[in-house]
Amino acid sequence: MANRFLPIGIQDFEDLRNRGAVYVDKTHLVYKLATEGKPYFLSRPRRFGKSLLLSTLEAYFLGKKDLFKGLAIENLEKDWIQYPVIKISFGRSSYESHDKLLAVIDNILGEHERFFGFEKKSDDSAVRLDNLIHFAYEKTGKQVVILIDEYDKPILDALYTQYEEQNRQELRSFYSPLKDCDQYIRFLFITGITKVSHVNIFSGLNQLNDISLTQSYSSICGVSESELEKYFMPEIEALAERQEMSLEETKAKLAQMYDGYHFTHNVEGVYNPFCLLKCFSDKDFGSYWFESGTPSLLVKTLQNQPVELTNIVNGRFANENQFKNYDPDSKNMLPVIYQSGYLTIKDFEKETRLYKLDFPNREVEEGFLDVLLKKFITVPYDDIGLEINNLRVALRDRNLDRAMNIIKSAIADLPTVVKKDMCENYYESVTHLMFRMTGWRVVSELQNVCGRSDVVVASKDSVFIFELKMDKGRPFEDVAEEALAQIDANGYSQRFAVSGKKMYKVALVFSSEGKGLLGWKVKE
């Protein structure tokens, strides 16, 4: 394979092109955006190429034709008009205080004022932006292109702090000229992780076109399945050789680890570009997304909102409004988890217009479950991986006493972040999490014609059917027998009878007072 430059971490289109880096050509979509509309909003998870997309749009509207040589847009665009561009990026800093936000806005506006030769006439950020748009229009005689990257970062960085509302109000004011200056704006494109309520960038710009769930733009960021082989076949071959795998095995492993994002229904899956490039560079299947940093938005939300884990880890159906818009005043975590990239669209019911959300791939699933485990179980931080491996071995060896003692130690008490009235869902979910981290096949709430089993774990030669019960003040033996009888009465084991695997029915009895696993009883 000839030396090929992979643009890992490069977010500047001009730099990427001048270096001769591998570039997945999205310029036909850039042209489509520029010619079919004007104000756009796009939500995508971090490390998904939003900044590179904005940089590409910037180069296009600056008329830098030479950078697009050999790309799809070269045959589409004939005029190559140079427009004045105002690019605002909040990704360059963190916003743990209101003063920090004010300083960054002042710096951004100052840079543009100096570039256009405009003398600052006000200290008010909204007035300065309004003046800047008018001046750029009058100076060049052309409408202005405005590109805003990570518009929501100052809000999300300050989430659950005293500065959250201050930052939200500041941005509400700062973005206000965008509607009133509509006649002076040629093109407006805004990116972020989430669509935050109470910011008038959405309520004020009623015509803003949100393309986050639009089919024609589903792969505008990231690498689609068809693009993978078109642009990266040499890297796939080199990876296969290093891993001593066939091409088909390598492609299947890549899909399992990094594919699976769907930003609407009935579209190609999309690979996370950062993880894909890192995998090709290292020639190894690593967990690169989480190594680059756990998103602070998720961690803050988990710390501040009571969580019903069953609604997160088992896949769920939701309508569009339940995961599209994030309201910081709401206790609905789904938009945070979906828009951070932990969940994606896996299915769509046309009749009910419900979307099924689940983990996009194995890398994200393992990383997310790891974050949850560290938050919701009492095992010391450094011992989690060891205990999960011990649990895996115990199930492999059919040593249920050992397996259950590991579970008991991990959830010896109800964490303070979980409300007492949520303990039943908590115990079921954490038990599910620990089993799922072992790598064995795990299903919760498995539907049967007579009912639903709580947790089913399948190893290579065994099937474990777990029924979880709360004691509610009753004797352990009575509750355990009731659980085992329920497994038999509802025929939970019948669907596995033809598998040839050894069957174990296990009753787990938990304390209704939040004191963990009281005991277990096994029936073969």
Q: What is the CATH number of the domain that holds 97?
A: 3.40.50
Number of domains in the chain: 3
**From 40-49, 64-73, 199-208, 466-475, the region with the lowest mean pLDDT:** 199-208
| CA–CA gap between residue 489 and residue 174 (Å, rounded) | 63
Asked if residue 1 belongs to a domain, the reply is no
Q: Based on the domain organization, do 152 and 258 belong to the same domain?
A: no
In sequence order, the 6+-apart residues with CB closer than 8 A to the CB of 293 are none
Q: Based on the domain organization, do 182 and 231 belong to the same domain?
A: no
Q: Based on the domain organization, do 180 and 244 belong to the same domain?
A: no
Q: Based on the domain organization, do 229 and 177 belong to the same domain?
A: no
Asked if residue 384 belongs to a domain, the reply is yes
Dihedral sign of CA atoms 482, 487, 491, 497 in order:
negative
Report pLDDT for 168: 85
Q: Based on the domain organization, do 180 and 69 belong to the same domain?
A: yes
Q: Based on the domain organization, do 508 and 492 belong to the same domain?
A: yes
More confident of the two residues 379 and 492: 492
Residue 449's pLDDT band (cuts 50, 70, 90): very low
Q: Based on the domain organization, do 90 and 32 belong to the same domain?
A: yes
Residue at which a domain ends, from 263, 291, 319: 291
Residue at which a domain ends, from 258, 291, 324: 291
Q: Based on the domain organization, do 109 and 166 belong to the same domain?
A: yes
Residue 289's pLDDT band (cuts 50, 70, 90): confident
> Beta partners for 42?
191
User: Which of 520, 517, 507, 519 minimizes the C-alpha distance to 409?
Assistant: 517
CB count in 10 Å sphere of residue 452: 11
Q: Based on the domain organization, do 206 and 75 belong to the same domain?
A: yes
CB count in 10 Å sphere of residue 500: 8
Asked if residue 174 belongs to a domain, the reply is yes
**From 103-117, 356-370, 448-462, the region with the lowest mean pLDDT:** 448-462
Asked if residue 347 belongs to a domain, the reply is no
Rounded average pLDDT over 250-263: 91
Rounded to the nearest 10 degrees, what angle do helices 247-258 and 273-282 cross at? 140
pTM assigned to the model:
0.80
Residue at which a domain ends, from 198, 217, 236: 217
Asked if residue 369 belongs to a domain, the reply is no
pLDDT tens-digit series, residues 139-169: 999 999 999 999 988 988 887 788 888 998 8
User: Which of 161, 153, 177 minimizes the C-alpha distance to 104?
Assistant: 153
Asked if residue 362 belongs to a domain, the reply is no
Q: Based on the domain organization, do 24 and 85 belong to the same domain?
A: yes
Res 260 pLDDT > 90: no
Report pLDDT for 436: 80
Rounded average pLDDT over 76-82: 95
Q: Based on the domain organization, do 418 and 479 belong to the same domain?
A: yes
Asked if residue 351 belongs to a domain, the reply is no
User: Which of 193, 181, 115 minimizes the C-alpha distance to 153?
Assistant: 193
Give the structural domain span for 281: 223-291
pLDDT tens-digit series, residues 480-514: 999 999 888 877 667 777 778 888 999 999 888 87
Report pLDDT for 394: 92
Asked if residue 103 belongs to a domain, the reply is yes
Q: Based on the domain organization, do 190 and 264 belong to the same domain?
A: no
Rounded average pLDDT over 78-95: 93
CATH of the domain at 398: 3.40.1350
